[in-house]
Amino acid sequence: MEVINIQNLSKSYGRIHALDDLSLTIEAGQIYGILGPNGSGKTTTLGIILSILKADSGSFQWFEGKYGSNPRKNIGAILETPNFYPYLNAIDNLEIVRHIKKVEDRNFDEILDIVELSHRKKSLFSTFSLGMKQRLAIAATMIGNPDVVIFDEPTNGLDPQGIADVRKTLLHIADSGKTVIMASHILDEVEKICSHVAILKNGKLLAKGPVGSILNNDIIIELKANDNSHLSEVLKQLDYIKSIEDNQGILECSLPPDADPALLSTFLHEKGLVITHFQVRKRKLEEEFLSITKNK
């Protein structure tokens, strides 16, 4: 089932095109990352599909129209910052979310356990650290056990322990079979958690698809020789090497996923080159991201 179908969304703030003709479909069960640098339109996209921002043009439909014009009771979402009543405690704040969603179950112990806030459930929200606030927001998204949860930069501003805690919770939610939509500018986060990714820059969609296909599975072989310029000459003779980039004295060669590194090693040896560094690795999302965003 389609969880959301986004068609040609655009939005401007004055002269700035925050979002430019975005179309995207997210299917049930996907862990969908929306990736892009700050100001690329991630939060604008989420704001529009959560009905707090008005699009200039375009449309979107949740759950193939199953819940009509207000499907948000069936979605758990945080946008930008954790937003709660500072003068109320954790339980009172969760109660307000429960009330709005008209969920019967008033017991929040389990979800507070998951985010490890049970010991602070009677503390005022204003006394929480940023990490605790973020975790309470994640707890709030679980009220009513919605099929879809949305997180916007969930680890933004947290310390390393906070990041680790939040990621653990996110993985826990992702494993439970829910559809997760997550905006992030942290590639590592998306790579570790998401099954699918859409890459945005300046409001434009640059690429979308399964994380694997965006990564395109190319392998990178890092090479260094005593004479790098000679090495580079030799490598250029090989047509199965897609590209060669000099990264601070290390030549990074991109090869198709089925290429055999052993053949390359043998070939270089036969050419009489002394290799001082030889490492095979997968292409990183970061490189993919930079290569995509650089050209557009």
Partner 1 sequence: MQFFHLITLEWKKFHKNTVMILLMGLFTFLMPFAIFVMENYKSVPPMPEKDTFFTFPGIWEYQGYSASWFSFLFLGFIGVLLITTEVGNRTLRQNIITGLTRMEYFLGKLYVILLISLYATLIYFVSTLLIGSFYPETFAMADFMNGHDWSTGRYFLLTFGYLSFGLFLGYILRKTGLAIFVYLSYIIFLEPLLRWAVHIKIFNNASMHYYPMNAMEDLMPNPLFKFAENFTSMTDFNILLSYRDASIVAVISIALFLLIGLRSLLRRDI
- What residue ranges bind partner 1 (CB under 8 A)? 47, 50-54, 70, 72-73, 75, 77-79, 81, 83-88, 92, 95-97, 99-102, 140
Q: Which two tokens stand for residue 40?
A: 């690329």
Give the pair of three-digit tokens for residue 30: 């996907």
User: Amino acid identity of 113?
Assistant: D
Which amino acid appears at position 162 of this protein? G
Nearer to partner 1, 67 or 240 (CB): 67
Integer Cα distance of 256 and 183 in angstroms: 30
CB of 180 vs partner 1, minimal distance in Å: 16
Report the C-alpha gap between 106 and 154 in whole angstroms: 25
**Distance separating alpha carbons of residues 198 and 47, to the nearest angstrom:** 16
**Minimum Å distance from CB 151 to partner 1?**
12
| CA atoms within a 13 Å half-sphere pointing along the CA-CB vector of 154 | 29
* Single-letter residue type at 163: I
Q: In terms of CB distance, is 86 or 210 closer to partner 1?
A: 86
Identify which of residues 135 and 208 has a Cβ nearer to partner 1 in the complex.
135
Please state the closest distance from residue 150 (CB atom) to partner 1, in A.
Answer: 9
Q: What backbone phi and psi angles, to 5 degrees, belong to 29?
A: 90, -10
**Residue closer to partner 1, measured from CB, 52 or 274:** 52
Nearer residue to partner 1 within complex by CB, 102 or 294: 102
Cα distances (Å, whole numbers) of residue 184 to 10, 156, 191, 193: 20, 9, 11, 11
Q: How far is the CB of 183 from partner 1 (least distance, A)?
A: 14
The alpha carbon dihedral of 169, 214, 12, 26 has a sign of negative
Closer residue to partner 1 (CB): 86 or 256: 86
Q: What is the DSSP string of 162-173?
A: HHHHHHHHHHHH
| Cα–Cα distance measured from residue 159 to residue 155, given in angstroms and rounded to the nearest whole number | 9
* Cα radius of gyration rounded to whole Å, the chain: 23
Considering the complex, what minimum distance in angstroms separates the CB of residue 191 from partner 1?
Answer: 27
* Nearer to partner 1 among residue 91 and residue 238 (C-beta): 91
> E strand or H helix at 65, and its extent?
none
**In this complex, which beta carbon is closest to partner 1, that of residue 99 or of residue 271?**
99
Q: Least distance (Å) from partner 1 to the CB of residue 100?
A: 5
Q: How far is the CB of 168 from partner 1 (least distance, A)?
A: 24
In angstroms, rounded to a whole number, what is the distance separating the alpha carbons of residues 197 and 8? 18
Least separation in angstroms between residue 104's CB and partner 1 is 14
